[in-house]
Amino acid sequence: MIRNTRESYGWLAIALHWLMALAIFGMFGLGLYMVELTYYDAWYKGSLDLHKSVGMVIFVLWLLRLIWRMNNETPDELPGPFWEQLLARLMHVALYAVMLALMISGFLISTADGRSIDVFGLVPVPALPWRVENQEDIAGEIHEWLAWGLMALVSLHAVAAVKHQWLNKDRGLMRMLRVTQKS
C-alpha cells in the first residue's frame, strides 16, 4: 500500500523516511570530511559541489514528504503515557524543522554573494534577492550547530524507536520498515 494506514506507514512514507535518513547521514559524514580537505586534495571542489547538490535534492524530498504527510493519515500513537506521546510528536516536528533550517542555512552560505547553486551541474537554484552582511559566516556557524543538533535529535529518535520495538514490544520500529495490512 502506498498510503499510510492507522496501523502502519505506507511504502512511500517508508521509502522517503529511509532515503532521507541515508542521505542525511551521508551528508553529515561528507560535511565533516570535506571541511578537512585541503587545497590540493583532488576532491576539494567536488565534495562541496556534491554536498550542495545533494542538499538541494534532500530539500525536494523534504517537501514531498511533508506534503505526503499532510495528505495522509498518520498511524495511531503508540500506547504509552500522554507525555511520551506528546514528546514523540514534538520530536517529529523538531526533526522536520531542524532539517529545513539546516538546508536553508546551507543554501544561505553558498548563495551569500548572489551565486546560484548548480544542482549536479544541471539545475541552477538562484540566490535570494536579498542578503545580510557576513551572511556566509553567520549561516555557516548556524549550519554547523544545526548539523550536530540534528544528529542529536536523530539519535534520540532512533533510541525511542528501538525502545518501542524491543522494550514495549509495540512494533514501533516495524511500522517504519514493513507495510502492515489490517488482518
Partner 1 sequence: MKKLLLAVALSGAAAFPGMASAADYKLDVKGAHAFINFKIKHLGYSWLTGRFNTFDGQFSYDAANLEASSIEVTIDTASIDSNHAERDKHLRGEDFLNVSEFPKATFKSTSYKAIDEDSGELTGVLTLHGVTKTISFPVEKLGEGNDPWGGYRAGFTGTTSLKLTDYGINYNLGPASTHVDLELHIEGIRQ
Residue ranges binding partner 1 (CB under 8 A): 38-40, 48, 109-113, 115, 134-137, 140
Q: What are phi and psi of 117, to 5 degrees?
A: -105, 125
Nearer Cβ to partner 1 (84/144): 144
DSSP 52-72: HHHHHHHHHHHHHHHHHHHTS
Nearer Cβ to partner 1 (136/170): 136
* Residue 38: CB minimum distance to partner 1, A: 6
* Residue 105: CB minimum distance to partner 1, A: 13
* Residue 45: CB minimum distance to partner 1, A: 11
Half-sphere exposure of 110 (CA within 13 A, CB side): 20
Q: What are phi and psi of 111, to 5 degrees?
A: -105, 15
Q: E strands, the chain, where?
A: 117-119, 123-125
Nearer Cβ to partner 1 (112/153): 112
Question: In the 8-state DSSP scheme, what is residue 167?
Answer: I
* Residue 122: CB minimum distance to partner 1, A: 20
Please list the helix, strand and coil fractions of the chain in percent, rounded to the nearest 5, in that order.
65, 5, 35
* Residue 113: CB minimum distance to partner 1, A: 4
- Angstrom distance (rounded) from CA 104 to CA 86: 27
Nearer Cβ to partner 1 (8/111): 111
How many other C-beta atoms can be found within 10 angstroms of the C-beta atom of residue 147? 19
Nearer Cβ to partner 1 (31/140): 140
* Residue 23: CB minimum distance to partner 1, A: 22
Nearer Cβ to partner 1 (46/79): 46
